[in-house]
Structure 1
Amino acid sequence: MSGLHQVAGGFNFGLGRYRHKSTSDQGGGQRLLHLFRSIPLVVFLSAPALAADLPPPLNEDDFIAFDKKQAALGQLLFYDRILSGNRNIACATCHHPSLGTGDGLSLGIGEGGEGLGRHRTALVAENRIKKRIPRNAPGLWNLGAKELHTLFHDGRLSISDDYENGFNSPAEEWLPEGLETLLGAQAIFPLVAQFEMAGNPKENEIAGAVHDRIDASWPILAKRVRVIPEYGKLFVEAFDHIEEPAQVTISEIANALAAFQAIEWTSFDSPFDQFLSGDDNALSAEQKRGLDLFYGKANCASCHSGQLLSDQKFHALGLPPFGPGRTRRFDPMVRDVGRMGESDRLEDAYRFRTPMLRNVELTAPYGHNGAYPTLEGIVRHHLDSHAMLESWQPDMANLPEAPWLEPIDFVVFNDKREMARHARFRDIEPISLTDREIADLVAFLKALTGTRSVSEPPFGIPESVPSGLPVDRP
């Protein structure tokens, strides 16, 4: 039968059986209707049901156009430790391309650590870390998409005019002027986070300024960068409104970082993207079965929807809690209440933002706290969160050794009252899949891995940076 592919006892109509939400090709629809009318009813009865439409393919028009000179400058800044309080960690340390733009850890070690990825260790000197980073380092793929309106696991940064500066952010009305995009606004917050890049109070002038007020540190960082002659020259060349280095502020630094990240890690050339663009042979039979499950029986697309495979909303999955948690101000206990920490609404308790899925194969471990080391594990948790939580073991968490922190690592996991509160919030219902169906679903998720966008990024890792500080390499 022309144009049909037999799959798992039913039939797959190639792109014909999936309808893009934005299609307006009425002629194509008429031809498809004619094809369906010519197919025996038994075919429809044996074809797997599809619960959601496929999205239209991503293309360059779906992404913000960033300046390449600014991106080249941003590349150097991204790998330069000059932006950290103690000059000992760069953005790339926790978001390294060799680790899928993450760090390979469940909960990482930011400022006060040494090494990269699984080899990163916590220093034991006087200024040793006082806390693990409370949440998993997310991947940086496709953060330049125009559709994006919310960032961070708890959504504490979003496009909004609540403070008359274009964004709802932790800086509120003290957010600097001149931030051009959501990604640019995001870039400035790790720089002033104590356990990520700023350091402990009294260790350096950056941490001390943050302790006074969040916006007090950014001018100090900007001056630290712009007085380096090579950086000063590059800012003048990259930004039309900058005539001399003394004009550089944290906003130019952030906009350059955003330009680099957006251009470097835009990815829509995976087998799935090729399939969406019309190549029916881009997916294997196993991946096609997984696609059917993703958009049908497994119900993944109810949250991982649209072109970015995320509804950008917040859901409670009941992931095993551990680590210090990102606690609310004055919270008397170690825990992470997710979106509620930003909104202060009880109905948002333990809910976290739906991640985008391009290149998800590269960004293990999974979950807002990196609870699962494998794709299969996080998939099985989505299918039966209660059973997976019951069987989860603390040794599944990849936590760098830090003996002085270990007594608190699983306090929340062993707190029966907090776990009971945690259990009252679930936004997913159990779904029964066979082992083969789960394998098919994982195969489809691996079909979301980019090809050239992953192996040949536009910029790569620089040989050196203007500050002369070491560059993190795998």
Structure 2
Amino acid sequence: MRGGRLIGAALAALALAAPAAGEGAGLPDLGPRPVFAAPDPARAALGQLLFYDPILSGNRAVSCATCHHPRFGTSDGLALGIGDGGLGLGPDRRPDPENPPEQRVPRNAQALWNLGAAEFTRFFHDGRLEADPSRPGGIRTPLGAEMTAGFASPLAAQAMFPVLSPDEMAGHYAENEVSKAVRQGLLSQEGGAWDLIAARVGVLPGYRARFDAVLPGQEITFHAIANLLADFIAHEWRADDAPFDRAMAGGAPLDPAAARGMALFYGEAGCSACHSGWLQTDHGFHAIAMPQLGPGKAARFERHARDTGRMRVTGRAGDAYAFRTPSLRNVTLTAPYGHDGAYATLEGVIRHHLAPAEALRAWDIGQAPLPPLPGAVDDRAAGDAAEIEAIAAAAALPPRALSDAQVADLVAFLHALEDPTERLGVPEAVPSGLPVVGR
């Protein structure tokens, strides 16, 4: 009887607005449901092979799946990953002693759930790639005026920027033709890194035949590869059939703890102020005093370990230390958390939100799962008192008081957002004949 009263009270607290048409009465109005384009199975299947094939990396050793593997919720289970120059997968990944990386990847590998929804128009933690009708191809990217048309969506454009990153996929110095082109600044130009990668794919009979079937008569270009990768990501990791969705549609109610957590999320805890809508993101940028670790975002000639987030894109002081609001779909599967993976657990990052500045000052790097990397100094920013105070001063998230039981209920609600559906899975083999990452 007591449990029934608790569930009733939780649902009553959710009556923040009139329910959307067709939704259960007494539940929050989340606005229109996400819009997803109908997938083309043949294109998605070809994109799957490209996603798992190391042929797209400079040294033919890593693939998109190295840092975005379904085994780790489409991320890699690390605070900061090791791309080119690493061996192994996920938390077991370590530097290759024969070819170690220059540094860790500076930011946490973001999950790929629901990126095919039309509302996702900004990508990366700082939103440096986003839809912009005034730019070539309707997309603003770090390439600026060098950006070429031909990408079908911002998702397609962002999917291929890691191949230009020495730390992620391209490789370092002049150890391969792709990394050499990147070092020379030859990226989207004719004969640049993108063309070199496309040519690798085009000479493989297994890919040529599949491209002819999907894109008959068309040249295999970098843009075509990117568009197919986006088709696969959009098809493979659509996640909108969680217990939460079914409860919102009038189906089975959430269990008592998740129902209480949902009431907190859309009520007292204030989570939905930023984590709004059906996919629990406002797609905006917020400074919440997240601790900084690792190499930071700096040009090669700079010597700091800061990461000022959105300000690096806009140049506006008011955007300092602000990062994009992540969707919370399948968040229970994608630890660690934060733009640099500073927190290994959901409870840890929730408690940070309750007292951001206090948590920042008390944080220690032991909370971040980092593989060993000889020579890495990961706590430079965390040990800089002035930088810590600058991060704290920028935070706009007000402190809140929640009990341990309430934090546990929020975690239970986040579990109700799980829908880890995979459609194609990991392929047995890829046309290049290279080892399939994660197989």
Query: Who is 1:409 aligned against?
Result: 378
Report whether the alignment pairs 1:219 with 2:188: no
Select 2:393's aligned residue among 416, 419, 424. Answer: 424
Query: Who is 2:30 aligned against?
Result: 55
CA contact (8 A) 1:5 1:12 kept: no
Deviations 1:14-38 (A, max 9, x none): 98x464665499xx99xx9xxxxxx
**5+ long unaligned stretches in structure 1:** 33-49
Alpha-carbon spacing, 1:79–1:14, altered in 2? closer, same or farther (3 Å): same
CA contact (8 A) 2:78 2:369 kept: yes
Select 1:158's aligned residue among 109, 118, 130. Answer: 130
**Secondary structure at the residue paired with 1:200?**
coil
Alpha-carbon spacing, 1:234–1:20, altered in 2? closer, same or farther (3 Å): farther
**Secondary structure at the residue paired with 1:64?**
coil
For residues 239-388 of structure 1, the aligned pairs below 5 Å read 239=215, 242-243=216-217, 247-279=219-251, 281-327=252-298, 331-388=302-359
Shift of 1:391: 2.8
CA contact (8 A) 2:292 2:382 kept: yes
Question: RMSD over aligned Cα, in angstroms?
Answer: 2.3
Query: Who is 2:364 aligned against?
Result: 393
Deviations 1:373-423 (A, max 9, x none): 111111111111123223322111111111221xx2101111112122222
**Secondary structure at the residue paired with 2:137?**
coil
Select 1:444's aligned residue among 399, 410, 413. Answer: 413
CA contact (8 A) 1:317 1:382 kept: yes
More deviation in 5-14 or 70-79?
5-14
Letter in 1 for 2:437: D
**1:458, 1:423 → 2: CA distance?**
42
Deviations 1:329-358 (A, max 9, x none): 764411111011111111111000000011
CA contact (8 A) 1:304 1:356 kept: yes
Deviations 1:53-89 (A, max 9, x none): 4315746xx1123322111000000000000000000
The structure with the largest alpha-carbon Rg is 1
CA contact (8 A) 2:54 2:437 kept: no
Alpha-carbon spacing, 1:331–1:347, altered in 2? closer, same or farther (3 Å): farther
Select 1:149's aligned residue among 96, 114, 121. Answer: 121
Alpha-carbon spacing, 1:398–1:11, altered in 2? closer, same or farther (3 Å): closer
Deviations 1:110-146 (A, max 9, x none): 0010000011001122x32111000000100000001
Letter in 2 for 1:287: A
Query: Who is 2:212 aligned against?
Result: 236
Alpha-carbon spacing, 1:206–1:130, altered in 2? closer, same or farther (3 Å): same
Shift of 1:276: 1.2
**Secondary structure at the residue paired with 1:7?**
helix
Query: Who is 1:12 aligned against?
Result: 11
**2:10, 2:292 → 1: CA distance?**
42
**1:24, 1:370 → 2: CA distance?**
38
**1:386, 1:176 → 2: CA distance?**
42
**Secondary structure at the residue paired with 1:315?**
strand
**1:369, 1:89 → 2: CA distance?**
21
Alpha-carbon spacing, 1:9–1:431, altered in 2? closer, same or farther (3 Å): farther
Shift of 1:363: 0.2
Shift of 1:427: 1.5
More deviation in 141-150 or 331-340?
331-340
More deviation in 306-315 or 136-145?
306-315
CA contact (8 A) 1:315 1:352 kept: yes
Letter in 2 for 1:420: E
Deviations 1:40-61 (A, max 9, x none): xxxxxxxxxx9xx4315746xx
**2:250, 2:195 → 1: CA distance?**
50
Select 1:197's aligned residue among 141, 161, 169. Answer: 169
Shift of 1:173: 2.5
Query: Who is 1:101 aligned against?
Result: 74
CA contact (8 A) 2:136 2:149 kept: no
CA contact (8 A) 1:57 1:273 kept: no
CA contact (8 A) 2:20 2:29 kept: no
Deviations 1:122-172 (A, max 9, x none): 1122x3211100000010000000111111000001000332321010122
Alpha-carbon spacing, 1:184–1:72, altered in 2? closer, same or farther (3 Å): same
Shift of 1:107: 0.2
For residues 106-117 of structure 1, the aligned pairs below 5 Å read 106-117=79-90
**1:462, 1:329 → 2: CA distance?**
37
**Secondary structure at the residue paired with 1:378?**
helix
Could you state the TM-score of these two structures normalised by the residue count of structure 1? 0.87
CA contact (8 A) 2:265 2:271 kept: yes
Letter in 1 for 2:159: A
Alpha-carbon spacing, 1:402–1:468, altered in 2? closer, same or farther (3 Å): same
Shift of 1:11: 6.1
Identity, % of aligned positions:
46
Alpha-carbon spacing, 1:21–1:385, altered in 2? closer, same or farther (3 Å): same
Alpha-carbon spacing, 1:69–1:295, altered in 2? closer, same or farther (3 Å): same
Residue correspondences, number: 434
Shift of 1:10: 3.6
Query: Who is 1:40 aligned against?
Result: none
**1:364, 1:375 → 2: CA distance?**
7
CA contact (8 A) 1:80 1:471 kept: yes
Deviations 1:433-471 (A, max 9, x none): 011111101100111011xxx25x221100000000001
